[in-house]
Amino acid sequence: MSKKRLVIVGNGMAPGRLLEHLFEASSDGFDVTIFNAEPRVNYDRIMLSPVLSGEKTYEDIIIHDDAWYAQHNITLHKGAKVTQIDRANKTVTTETGVTESYDKLVLATGSNPFIIPCPGHDLKGVLAYRDLDDTEAMMVAAQKGGRAIVIGGGLLGLEAAAGLKMQGMDVTVLHLMPTLMERQLDTSAGYLLEKELERRGIDIRCEANTKQILGTETVEGVELDDGTVIHADLVVMAVGIRPNMQLAQDAGLEVNRGIVTNAAMQTSDPDIYSVGECAEVGGMVYGLVAPLYQMARVAAGHLAGNTDGAFAHQETPTKLKVTGVDLYSVGDFAEGADRDDIVLRDAKAGTYKRVILQDNKIIGAVLYGATEDGAWYNEMLKSGEDIAEMRDTLIFGQAHQGGGAMDPLAAVANLADDAEICGCNGITKGQIVKVIGDKGLTSLAEVRAHTKASASCGTCTGLVEGVMALTLGDEFKLPEAEGMCGCTTHGHGYVRRMIKAKGLKSIPQVMQELEWSTPEGCAKCRPALNYYLLSDWPGEYVDDQQSRFINERIHANIQKDGTYSVVPRMFGGMTTADELRAIADVVDKYDVPSVKVTGGQRIDLLGVKKEQLIPVWKDLNDAGMVSGAAYAKGLRTVKTCVGKQWCRFGTQDSTQLGIDLERALWGSWAPAKLKLAVSGCPRNCAESTCKDIGIVCVDSGFEILYGGAAGLHIQGTTKMGTVATEKETIEYVCALTQYYRETGFYLERIYKWADRLGYDHINDLIMNDADARQGFYERFVYSQTFVQIDPWAERVAGAEAHEFAPMANIKLEAAE
């Protein structure tokens, strides 16, 4: 029997969850086809704010990767917008003309962000905050700095504001109402939130009504109703969402505020279901995932033949995902004659708790600063428990019921089995305990995989761990991350993101904030942190010599007999008679035992004694030569061929381009060594196709290649693209280098970095996104202003003198 065809329009969080339930219920009931206007797989939209703030990456928030779709035989059309439903023939058609027939159809088109139709709303630089494209556009805009204006002081607006601030922009929030997040917070909590955000340097303006957005092509500012003009380089509108129901409406389905469904999530056409923010059920539309996941469960049950499930409204708590701001709000907190409330304020601690009661039952709770009792209040709100007996101690929280304070695990132990632990996914304590027992789970990752608890916004992770610790005792394994080294459980990616996101500017600060387990770090993490700080805070962070390996500290490579090798820079592999004479004089004067021409087209003086280093460098400096940085995790050489100046095959002046590239790049620190080459034609005499970055000149311009390796690992380069001029070549290569510098892990060569990030993504970003490229280039040029100083000359002038003085003769001193 052939399978039924299930077509889904939209691939957001609701249908993703629907499919999981459906496959659980019947793994081979349907042939599934999904059309998604966004060109990607299903990701956790909730977590866009941590992506914006730099605390997570897109890869971290993918819910279903390509392998998942393949494993379930799902045909996923990415970047495919459905424009028509033919209900008579049961087909859907996309804007590019792809038609697919269905037996059952699910509409999960989500919402559209509302854009205030004021003058200037369509200028370049005015963005909404809805999907990954918006988030990436904000991140790119933030790279240029300047001021962002966020219109809307609700949940999304404030998360956007905090994220942009963490990305280094000046931020102003314009909010129409007198206090922030007025739909979730009362005025007291709104006030505390406003003060906290102002303390973080965000400019908050309430009762501010936007009149128009100023600018000719690109946004330049915002004018308010009262005539105030605020300059802006970016405007983010976060003023609400509207269910996306056009497709349903055009197909003649019943719509109202959203696509109208019954409690089984069926629309007015029983073969068409609707789930997610686009659906209206029981007269309500929703904008938080917990109810959407309930819709998904009900609809999946119906599709699988279980017609018992019905959607029922439940209050959903709100939490703001701004690191360090704890707020929790649930239910109704409006004043009313039949209501009373209990309030606890601790101005010094910055906490505020308010529980709203009606007939001795909790109908709402607003918590600011101390939110650990949110789940407990919500439990009682949902169960309608009479709180008369605990009224006196209710506001102090669960830990203070029945006597003195309890330990946190006792609080978890006291929760009933049907207490909801994960609000986003509707997972109860009993469900977690059961799955641990049934499946023998011992780690958080396993519990997440089996129940989804803490897998969405993650704010309940502590509670889930508490339930696990209680159930498993000593068997509970805390999550193990692959740490950078034994001093931390955090990986390189996390540490890099946190350095930026939390504005950490010194090694002790990183170790303190990210809870290093050793006081000083070790030889693995210190050089990595030193590099990350150098790369992220040019001009502010001062290089820590003690966090460098010996070769980088001494500015020469130590050889196996304890002497050093000295390699002066020869830009583009070119030299002169004067330079050669000076090198020959140094060889004679200091009796240098070996002189060798290197693979990178320069001259290596081998066997120099440590105490000779400074005089040798001085003589070379005097002849105009600087360090070749043959020891550096940074630019080493730019190898060139003779190019069109001498070679009959040469298409461009490859030698001059190599010199210019080396002049632009020398001194730059990178995650690992960086070797370049420029060949004058595809005969490739400079071996460009196995370098970290290679240029092959062609008649039409310059091919830029990268990701080659010719050491222990051998690999040819991948082409990034072709540009027309030498100037562009330098700009694109610097932008590529800067992207590598900003996102590479310490000691990760460029080919490994590109494998991790994806060549297509890198190519697209550097070749096609002019704003991003410009940002990288400008940051590269800026950071070069601090490092293009010859370390030899500095040492000759006396810097780090202790490194070069002979060690004290301890035996002699001791004898005296």
Ligand X SMILES: Cc1cc2nc3c(=O)[nH]c(=O)nc-3n(C[C@H](O)[C@H](O)[C@H](O)COP(=O)(O)OP(=O)(O)OC[C@H]3O[C@@H](n4cnc5c(N)ncnc54)[C@H](O)[C@@H]3O)c2cc1C
Q: Which residues bind ligand X (CB under 6 A)?
A: 9-15, 35-38, 45-46, 48-49, 81-82, 108-111, 129-130, 156, 159, 244, 247, 276-277, 287-289, 292, 321, 424, 457
Between 109 and 471, CB nearer to ligand X:
109
- Identity of the residue, 110 or 791, whose beta carbon is nearer to ligand X in the bound complex: 110
Q: Segment contacting ligand SF4 (CB under 6 A): 9-17, 138-146, 676-684, 718-726?
A: 676-684
SS3 assignment, position 256: coil
Of 49 and 179, the one with the shorter C-beta distance to ligand X is 49
Question: How many other β-carbons are positioned within 10 Å of the β-carbon of residue 371?
Answer: 21
Closest to 356 (Cα-Cα) out of 326, 335, 382: 335
Local structure of residue 235 (DSSP, 8 states): E
Which one of 680, 707, 708, 744 is in contact with ligand SF4 (CB under 6 A)? 680
Closest residue to ligand X, judged by C-beta, is 12
Can residue 681 be called a binding residue for ligand SF4 (CB under 6 A)? yes
Work out what residue 12 binds among ligand SF4, ligand X, none; the CB cut-off runs from 5 to 8 Å by kind: ligand X
The site partner of 643 among ligand SF4, ligand X, none (C-beta below 5 to 8 Å per kind) is: ligand SF4
Complex with ligand SF4: residue 647 or 747, whichever CB lies closer: 647
**Contact pick of 596, 683, 727, 756 for ligand SF4 (by CB under 6 A):** 683
Nearer Cβ to ligand SF4, position 370 or 678?
Answer: 678
Contact 126, 237 (CB under 8 A): yes
494: amino acid identity, one letter: Y
Chosen from ligand X, ligand SF4, none, partner binding at 485 (C-beta under 5 to 8 Å by type): none
Rg (C-alpha) for the chain, rounded Å, is 31
The item of ligand SF4, ligand X, none sharing an interface with residue 653, based on CB under 5 to 8 Å by kind, is none
Exposure string over 775-784, b if 16+ CB within 10 A, otherwise e: bbbbbbeebb
The amino acid sitting at 620 is: L
Please list, residue by residue across 232-250, b when 16 or more beta carbons sit within 10 angstroms of its beta carbon and e when fewer do.
Answer: bbbbbbbbebebbbebbee
Which residue's entry shows tokens 């995932």?
A: 289
287 binds, among ligand SF4, ligand X, none (CB under 5 to 8 A by kind): ligand X
CB 120, CB 212: distance < 8 Å:
yes
672 binds ligand SF4 (CB under 6 A): no
The minimum distance between CB 633 and ligand SF4, in angstroms, equals: 16
**According to CB under 6 A, which one of 358, 551, 684, 784 is a site residue for ligand SF4?**
684
Q: Are 43 and 87 in contact (CB under 8 A)?
A: no
Residues 639-668 that bind ligand SF4 (CB under 6 A): 641-643, 647, 649-650, 654
CA nearest neighbour of 41 among 3, 67, 5: 67
**For residues 612 and 654, which CB has a smaller minimum distance to ligand SF4 in the complex?**
654
Which of 58, 177, 171, 34 minimizes the C-alpha distance to 107?
Answer: 34
Q: Is 754 exposed, middle or buried (0-12, 13-18, 19+ CB in 10 A)?
A: buried
Nearer CB in complex with ligand SF4: 310/642: 642
Q: Which one of the spans 16-24, 486-494, 673-681, 761-769 is the region binding ligand SF4 (CB under 6 A)?
A: 673-681
**Residue 549, interface with ligand SF4 (CB under 6 A)?**
no
Nearer residue to ligand SF4 within complex by CB, 677 or 730: 677
The closest alpha carbon to 398, from 463, 348, 327, belongs to 463
The angle at the Cα of 38, spanning 36 to 40, to the nearest 5 degrees, equals 90
Residue 276 binding target from ligand SF4, ligand X, none, CB below 5 to 8 Å by type? ligand X
Select the binding partner of residue 650 from ligand SF4, ligand X, none (C-beta < 5 to 8 A, by kind): ligand SF4
What residues between 572 and 611 interact with ligand SF4 by CB under 6 A? none
Q: What is the DSSP string of 165-182?
A: HHTT-EEEEEESSSSTTT
Residue 639 CB, shortest distance to ligand SF4, in Å, is 11
**Measured between alpha carbons, how far is 105 from 183 in angstroms, rounded to an integer?**
34
Q: Which long-range contacts (CB under 8 A, 24 or more apart) does 700-703 make?
A: 700/724, 701/652, 701/725, 702/652, 702/657, 702/726, 702/728, 702/729
Q: How far is the CB of 10 from ligand X (least distance, A)?
A: 3
* CB of residue 425 to ligand X, shortest distance in Å: 10
List contacts with ligand SF4 (CB under 6 A): 641-643, 647, 649-650, 654, 679-681, 683-685
